[in-house]
């Protein structure tokens, strides 16, 4: 990026000239750079990452939106805030812990298969439904595949497993597909119950 003084025979220039260069202020100085057409790739790999982020986002919304009237917040929010480093916000920390491993397709596929094959898959489905999670459909064009509500809940559970999230009643120290009916129900209840 070039730094310029008196660009275009003026004291200040802003904006694009043709499709060649862009003038803008940067840190109090005048700057110019080559114009680049903004891109928004919609290839399959990008859609897969977006769908994983969306599935975690739906769980964060389930934790915060409908029950935001709780005096001290939902138990899940309080638990995440307790383990979040001071330099981050809790919901970003939740998403980053889930996405560290689940961004890798093999890990995501393994978790999906484990949840679908778990004896408690009906509990996962029921809890996800109670939280208002719905299938993210690939037919909308935004996602590469459908993401079931139970997989959305399982992705948040995976993040809780990664940090061994501790609530008032339980510690999630085992892989989510190994959770008992009580652990799954408690995890979902922590989304809606006051701390």
**Alpha-helix runs per DSSP H in the chain:** 44-64, 75-83, 90-102, 105-117, 121-130, 149-162, 181-192
Q: What is the DSSP letter of 145?
A: S
In terms of domains, do 23 and 50 share one? no
> Are 11 and 80 contained in the same domain?
no
What is residue 67's predicted lDDT score, i.e. its pLDDT?
56
Strand ordering across the sheet containing 21-26: 2-3, 29-34, 21-26, 15-17
Cβ 177 vs Cβ 114: under 8 Å: yes
β-strands 2-3, 21-26 pairing: unpaired
One pLDDT digit (tens) per residue for the chain, 195 residues: 556 666 666 677 788 888 888 888 888 888 888 888 877 777 778 888 888 888 888 888 887 765 556 656 788 888 888 899 999 998 899 999 889 888 888 898 899 899 988 889 999 999 999 888 888 887 777 677 788 899 999 999 999 898 888 776 666 788 898 898 988 988 888 888 876
pLDDT at 118: 87
Position 64 in a domain: yes
Shared-domain flag, residues 184 and 114 = yes
Do 88 and 18 fall within a single domain? Answer: no
Other Cβ atoms less than 10 A from the Cβ of 144: the count is: 16
Q: Is 39 a member of any domain?
A: no
**Are 103 and 14 within one domain?**
no
* Euclidean distance between CA atoms 99 and 7, whole angstroms: 44
Q: Is residue 70 part of a domain?
A: yes
What domain count does the chain have?
Answer: 2
Domain that holds residue 151: 44-192
- The per-residue pLDDT for 144 is 72
14 and 76 part of one domain: no
95 shares its domain with 20:
no
Same domain, 115 and 27: no
- For residues 27 and 98, state if they share a domain: no
* Residues 98 and 126 placed together within one structural domain of the fold: yes
Task: Based on the fold, state whether residues 63 and 154 are members of the same structural domain.
Answer: yes
- Alpha carbons 50 and 193: distance in angstroms, whole number: 29
Q: What is the pLDDT of residue 121?
A: 92
* 24 & 48 share domain: no
């Amino acid at each position: 990026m070039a730094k310029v003084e008196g660009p275009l025979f003026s004291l200040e220039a802003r904006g694009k000239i043709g499709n060649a260069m862009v003038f803008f202020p940067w840190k109090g100085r005048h700057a110019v750079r080559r114009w680049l057409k903004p891109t928004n790739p919609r290839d399959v790999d990008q859609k897969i990452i977006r769908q994983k982020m969306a599935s975690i986002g739906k769980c964060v919304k389930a934790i915060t939106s409908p029950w935001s009237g709780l005096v001290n917040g939902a138990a899940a929010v309080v638990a995440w805030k307790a383990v979040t480093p001071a330099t981050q916000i809790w919901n970003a920390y939740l998403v980053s812990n889930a996405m560290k491993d689940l961004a890798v397709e093999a890990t995501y596929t393994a978790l999906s298969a484990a949840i679908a094959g778990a004896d408690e898959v009906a509990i996962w489905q029921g809890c996800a439904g109670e939280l208002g999670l719905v299938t993210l459909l690939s037919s909308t064009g935004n996602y590469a595949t459908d993401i079931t509500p139970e997989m959305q809940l399982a992705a948040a559970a995976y993040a809780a497993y990664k940090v061994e999230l501790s609530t008032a009643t339980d510690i999630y120290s085992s892989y989510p597909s190994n959770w008992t009916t009580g652990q799954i129900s408690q995890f979902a209840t922590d989304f809606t119950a006051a701390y």
